Structure 1
Amino acid sequence: MSSLFVSRSLADIRFWSRMMKEHTIFLRFGFTIDQTQYAEEADRFRQLFEEIEQKSMAFDEKTEPEKMARFNMEVYHATAHLWTFKRRMLEYVLTGQMVCHHPPLFFDHLAREAAYFMRRLEYLNKGTIEPPGDAIINETIFYLRVMSDHTRLLSIRIDPSERDLLAETADFSYQFDQLLFQAIDMESMRPASQNKALLESFLSRNQTPITSLCEFKQSVCSMIEDSQVRHALPFLLADHMLREAEYFRDVLDGFSKHVSDMQPSFPTL
């Protein structure tokens, strides 16, 4: 383990612990007035991840790797408990035990992000700093699905009278669905699809759409701030979706740099 392990761990924890904290806020205000037990549980998770955020600020790149690894596991276990809570709420909604202000996809979406964060921490503690080829495809599938979910969740928060904005949201939804299906095809063609040329083409096809989606989400945030759009979308949620899109854009850039350093594959005759 090295300083690179520490810096990658801190970057992941500082970003994703903030995402987990905000998830608990969204969950908290999605429960109805009589669901105080779940609202209080969500609030306890919010406090937990606020503490994790604060603790992470006491670390820096000079932190001993062993100490960082222990903190990674502490965060892993906290996230695992939150994942369990999210999946329990999803089960209650799907089985009719609970009716709240969030659709089932919302709970599933939040749980998938928690599971992803846990995998990232596992990878890091096992010494996997640079992503192997299969992780590049798998993580791109994960993020494309997140972006596709965002477009659907945005559409149910924008007023039906905002026809142009909803049409633009629907266009992004279709576009990211198609990118997701292409990525799933790449995944099913492994290991042959993990060569340098195909991975470069695969990542390149995703970079322009995610840049456009970032710009669209930034525009939505600005319209909310300036009261220029009819909606039921809290600014924090819109900004949360924007930051995740920007994070995916940066992840793609990192993958592209990694793939550019790979040795080209040559067909065997």
Structure 2
Amino acid sequence: MLSSFDFVRQSLELHLFFARIMKEHSFFLEAGFTTRDNSFTRKADEFRMEFDRLLIDVVSISNGIVSQSVIHSGEVFTPYTLDAETVSSYYSGVRIPINITQAEINLMGGETVTINPFLEQRVVSVNNRAIGLIKALITFKETILSNVLSCKMFTLNYPLLIDHIMREARLYVQMVQQLQSREEMSIEKEALQQELFWNRIMAEHSKFIRGLLDPTEDQLINTAHDFGNEFDQLTTEAKAAVDMTIPLEKVTEDSLNAVQRIRDFKEQGTKGLLECKIKSIIIPLLGDHTLREANHFLRLLKQFEVKPINK
């Protein structure tokens, strides 16, 4: 069973990463609807603002509690997040509050903190609120995907991207529910689940990037295509590890190497988008979004590599 300290810290760290991811999912959906579906545009905007409010509350109680390793991992914010939000807000006309990112940049980590009952109960309340909000967003995404697949709606987002962000939301709500039950996962179980999940996500990121680049960007398209193939293979390896046909350590080592390289590719891409040096239909915040997810996966892989995994 998780201690009060681990429960509070892990909950806040999870929200710092995933609540931002969810608010950006809502923004990407919002920006992709046609004029005909303005009711969906408004609903996506409502979700975006609800996750803004959730994230503001999380940031307000995280100072001195969350770990330095998470703050400095690049999964909460990157050197490009503020600019990506500012430019994406300009392009879309959607007001993205950069004050949240500014507050995150000022967060301080803490290693030895006493958790009082009031703080613990506050985190329980945040978790319950998040669970309800994430479940509602999942239902919204399911409706959109169903409409798109049945030709009742057109959106600028790929059907696979809608399915992709729905899976991320399901992982988020599952992890919050585990924390609420104070469930302590084994390192092996967590490694298997996370590596299988995130290798697939990295493969899909590569394919989205490939498809959103201007057709003249031959070199970038080829690089993204190669990453897609590599992470498809790593996803297959992770499935084999689940079936115990290859050792998990081998998957972790291969994944770590590949994620470091795709992380650098995404960073260069995000910088290129902000400097208007890459021709594409990729909004800069999407570049920064995928960069943060790579940073998150990289931190997990390093954690799995350091901690002993019992067979």
What TM-score results when the alignment is normalised by the length of structure 1? 0.90
Instruction: State yes or no: 1:93 paired with 2:148.
Output: yes
Matching residue of 2:135: 80
1:186 to partner: Cα distance: 1.5
Matching residue of 1:243: 292
Instruction: State yes or no: 1:227 paired with 2:276.
Output: yes
Matching residue of 1:200: 249
Please say if residues 221 and 235 of structure 1, whose CA atoms lie closer than 8 Å, have aligned partners that are also in contact.
yes
SS of residue paired to 2:297 = helix
Question: Within 5 Å, which residues of 2 pair with 1:136-175?
Answer: 136-175=191-230
Deviation by residue 1:44-96 (Cα, 9 ceiling, x = unmatched) = 10111011011112324345333322321211110010011001100000111
1:130 to partner: Cα distance: 4.6
In structure 1, distance between residues paired with 2:130 and 2:153: 29
In structure 1, distance between residues paired with 2:263 and 2:187: 26
Structure 1: which amino acid aligns with 2:30? R
Structure 1: which amino acid aligns with 2:171? Y
Count of residues paired in the alignment: 256
Matching residue of 1:67: 122
Instruction: State yes or no: 1:114 paired with 2:163.
Output: no
Higher RCO (Cα < 8 Å, 6 or more apart): 2
In structure 2, distance between residues paired with 1:57 and 1:86: 26
SS of residue paired to 1:34 = helix
In structure 1, distance between residues paired with 2:303 and 2:124: 23
Structure 2: which amino acid aligns with 1:244? E
Match of 1:179 among 234, 242, 262: 234
In structure 1, distance between residues paired with 2:265 and 2:155: 29
Please say if residues 54 and 126 of structure 2, whose CA atoms lie closer than 8 Å, have aligned partners that are also in contact.
no
1:26 to partner: Cα distance: 0.4
1:218 to partner: Cα distance: 0.5
1:137 to partner: Cα distance: 0.8
Structure 1: which amino acid aligns with 2:153? M
Please say if residues 5 and 129 of structure 1, whose CA atoms lie closer than 8 Å, have aligned partners that are also in contact.
no
Match of 1:58 among 57, 60, 65: 60
* Aligned CA-pair RMSD: 1.6
In structure 1, distance between residues paired with 2:286 and 2:186: 29
In structure 2, distance between residues paired with 1:257 and 1:140: 15
Question: Within 5 Å, which residues of 2 pair with 1:26-65?
Answer: 26-60=28-62, 61=65, 62=115, 64-65=119-120
Quote the sequence identity (%). Answer: 27
Q: Which residues of structure 2 form unaligned runs of 5+?
A: 66-114
SS of residue paired to 1:156 = helix
What TM-score results when the alignment is normalised by the length of structure 2? 0.79
Please say if residues 20 and 55 of structure 2, whose CA atoms lie closer than 8 Å, have aligned partners that are also in contact.
yes
Q: Which residues of structure 1 form unaligned runs of 5+?
A: none
